[in-house]
Structure 1
């Protein structure tokens, strides 16, 4: 699938992605643009298309084959027929040695239709269908993980911008209080030690701002790498998801029912189950209907035309293959057991990832109450210190301490909000519902439905294969 075609499917208004940089840019746009340009995601969609073509190849086993062959050339023949025509033996030939030289032409047309092959083609088709579904679920799972990367890059930029803003305010407050202490020191009221201490805190606030600005640049670089465009000026802060599990048990249920990687592992079991049925087919004979015609001239020393027409029912049955077929059947059985254990492992991994994501989210959510209380208490303390300073009960350094406490509380609150919101998207990712929540239109490769070709032909065998199940 071409990249341009994918862009048309995924982003009907992809041009707005770049035009919106001067306007509001949403999380949904960021995720959609990431999926439209992600090499990892496009590799997955191309793999799904490749497997779909393998399915089409398997369908060909239901159809007849037609082969035509033709030939022309010089022929030198010396066989009992030409030697019997030797004039020394009373025959009539152009060669006294019994060798005949003639121009030979050949033409043949053979049509073959498989009638019964132990249901090998049928089960091969069913196995390929299951593999197409498995690859579709993997494309869907890749979309969930890539979308989470985009969400994290988007939210990280929002967080770093907020922290830069807080650090700038903190530096401004430090410079304001430092200026007041400097005036008092110059007026002979303040102490030199207080001025030195305030100067050191201003320097620290400046270095903190510089470090946070560097963190913002790093986040913007990560945004560019993951989402594929420079960071727009205005990013819209996303709200809480519309659909979200009510509790951990509900979240685990969502994951077990909807996680694409778990559903892919189920289809992988179906693939090897069909492969095992294919491995049983060599133990029964194969029947083909073959229609043929030949139009030959001057064949093997016989001058003139040699024409044949035939309609044959042919049976082929390998009676001994050195144990290869039995070993292949045993191999398929072990492969199926392996696939079932992989499915069990995927089940455990989904449960684990959902519970870990839920634990992280709920921890961040519970902490928010105390982060807010810390900010509120720090605001009240700062206001009280200011009033006490106005009546001479507090020093400017006391004000500086209260500003530092308030700054730290606001930074903790910003980080807490970030972790809580990111935690919700991690839960949705762990349950396999992230792109659905963001209303992202995934391409057809992420839909677990193989191309419908000759479904009627395969359904013909549905009622006749039970003895091979």
Structure 2
């Protein structure tokens, strides 16, 4: 009977703790107080209460008191659980604490549970972990090794320019033809790249430079075509001697002032103009170089858009994973807090969980800030503000054009890389320019057809008309050594570009080697990451079962939560790094991949996520 009364006291204390009401009791100086069995879930309290009620049924008064206390404890537990997880009062029993776990206490003990800090419940529950009635954690390894498989959906909601500050800033630009930021519901990577290539200021600048080069080519060509020149002059002329006859002396006037007008129409066709011809050929090559420069700008825009898209997606995924992790730690903190209030856990354990919860919340804030910055950067590049984006895959960034062999990739890059092609075109233009400089030592020969009409030439009252068909040669025999220095300048320019081409080739080969090494290492790390995730999942499931029996430390489970979160976060970063490496290789090979090569032809079916 004495043992039954002690059990009843223990159950009353447990019920008071669960209902957040302080309970005090006192016995003689040698009396002992019950210490709750170390457990990690609130459901263990329910099981202990039911077991104690069964054990105390031998004593009628003790059994009745224990049953009432057990019901109160279970009701308190059910108050904090959703309906689907509430425990039945009649099917469970409360286990009495082991005698070895009992220790002496003061004659009067008042236990008051400490409520969690208010700033720990800022975010809504995400349903990732439910600790209040048994450990039901969604630990698992996705069957598909991709961002889509890891997240469980093809599309995610993002915050691009969430506050609209960037859009308002663009709208405040007081100039004509300013493209405003356009909100859009959904966006995939192929659409983002297409929009970015059409909006990018770098691409538009490169396109304008191509237009300039074409106009300059037309100018150089015009210098080789026939030209027609009309010249008209009129004014006073003084002739000495004049053609007029002096009426007094009968001789021509020694000086005559009169009006004169000349009109000349000249048609000129260059016959030999080597500097002009080579300049025209050089302009054509420069135009080709500008086109390669535009392709290079498109490649840079393509790559920067891919990186911005990946940053937007990965930062959102990371923020969501951090929110899940924070919710898990908050649930764990609330449970440890109740156990600490009951004396089953130390205050240091509670504070360690609180510190981890605050750290998770800080990481969440950091991830949200990174996502906001990534959203503004994406809007700046694409000029679209999507609310949802489709998760990228490798096919969308040009996996189909990436060779399996590094040697094959190097061969293709040396032929089609836009930076190499641009420098090679500039080098060819410099070679033509060098040849044109040498041609300045040669004469220029033109064919001229002219028709000149002069009125009052020399003071005559009659007009004079001259029609000529002539071959005109212009030859600069000496120009102070300027032509020689001009040749030296063009030769030095050619040497410069030759070395730049060689350097660019080596840079491309080095970048390809690095990207292929990164891609290979990333894929190996992804394999290891999923093995790690599988191991952590297996360990977490085993630890969850041990926690139900009270044989697992809460802090060990806290460590499992952290490792599971870190493993998933690493996989997100690795998948992002893999996609970025493939995009970088495709960009090195040929600039921006064609839409048909870079994007999938069909849209995948939405995943069914349970």
**Given the two structures, how large is their TM-score scaled by the length of structure 1?**
0.83
Distance in 1, Cα, partners of 2:323 & 2:278: 67
Contact 1:143–1:435 at 8 Å: present in 2 too?
no
- Deviation string for 1:53-106 (max 9, x for gaps)? 110011112211111111333x25241125x7334422487xxxx554433222
Q: 1:80 to 1:99 in 2, by over 3 A?
A: closer
Deviates more, 1:192-201 or 1:418-427: 192-201
Secondary structure class of the residue paired with 1:203: helix
The alpha-carbon deviation at position 51 of structure 1 amounts to 0.8
Secondary structure class of the residue paired with 1:233: strand
Secondary structure class of the residue paired with 1:312: strand
1:102 matches 2:265: no
Q: Give 2:458's aligned residue.
A: 300
The alpha-carbon deviation at position 183 of structure 1 amounts to 2.5
The partner residue of 1:90 within 232, 250, 274 is: 250
- Deviation string for 1:36-61 (max 9, x for gaps)? 12212111110111011110011112
The partner residue of 1:166 within 308, 321, 326 is: 321
Equivalent positions of 1:294-333 (< 5 A) are 294-333=452-491
Contact 1:361–1:427 at 8 Å: present in 2 too?
no
The higher-RCO structure (CA 8 Å, 6+ apart) is 1
The partner residue of 2:353 within 198, 207, 211 is: 198
Distance in 1, Cα, partners of 2:479 & 2:331: 92
Q: 1:390 to 1:330 in 2, by over 3 A?
A: same
Q: Give 2:185's aligned residue.
A: 22
Distance in 1, Cα, partners of 2:343 & 2:476: 110
1:138 matches 2:301: no
Q: 1:387 to 1:64 in 2, by over 3 A?
A: same
1:234 matches 2:395: no
Distance in 2, Cα, partners of 1:351 & 1:112: 52
Secondary structure class of the residue paired with 1:205: helix
Contact 1:160–1:212 at 8 Å: present in 2 too?
yes
Contact 2:401–2:586 at 8 Å: present in 1 too?
no
Q: Give 1:54's aligned residue.
A: 216
Deviates more, 1:50-59 or 1:189-198: 189-198
Count of residues in Structure 1 that have an aligned counterpart in Structure 2:
417
CA RMSD of aligned residues (A): 2.3
The alpha-carbon deviation at position 269 of structure 1 amounts to 1.6
List alignment gaps of at least 5 residues for structure 2. Answer: 1-178, 600-610
Equivalent positions of 1:453-464 (< 5 A) are none
Contact 1:76–1:99 at 8 Å: present in 2 too?
no
Considering fraction of residues, name the structure with more helix: 1
Q: Give 1:353's aligned residue.
A: 511
List alignment gaps of at least 5 residues for structure 1. Answer: 1-14, 442-469
Q: Give 1:214's aligned residue.
A: 369
Distance in 2, Cα, partners of 1:201 & 1:339: 58
Q: Give 2:129's aligned residue.
A: none
Contact 2:307–2:580 at 8 Å: present in 1 too?
yes
Distance in 2, Cα, partners of 1:273 & 1:88: 72
What stretches of structure 1 move > 4 A for 4+ residues in a row? 437-441
Distance in 1, Cα, partners of 2:494 & 2:343: 88
Rg larger for: 2
Q: Give 2:18's aligned residue.
A: none
The partner residue of 1:148 within 300, 303, 308 is: 303
Distance in 2, Cα, partners of 1:411 & 1:205: 13
Q: 1:129 to 1:78 in 2, by over 3 A?
A: closer
Secondary structure class of the residue paired with 1:321: coil
Contact 1:112–1:290 at 8 Å: present in 2 too?
yes
Distance in 1, Cα, partners of 2:468 & 2:598: 59
Distance in 1, Cα, partners of 2:484 & 2:185: 68
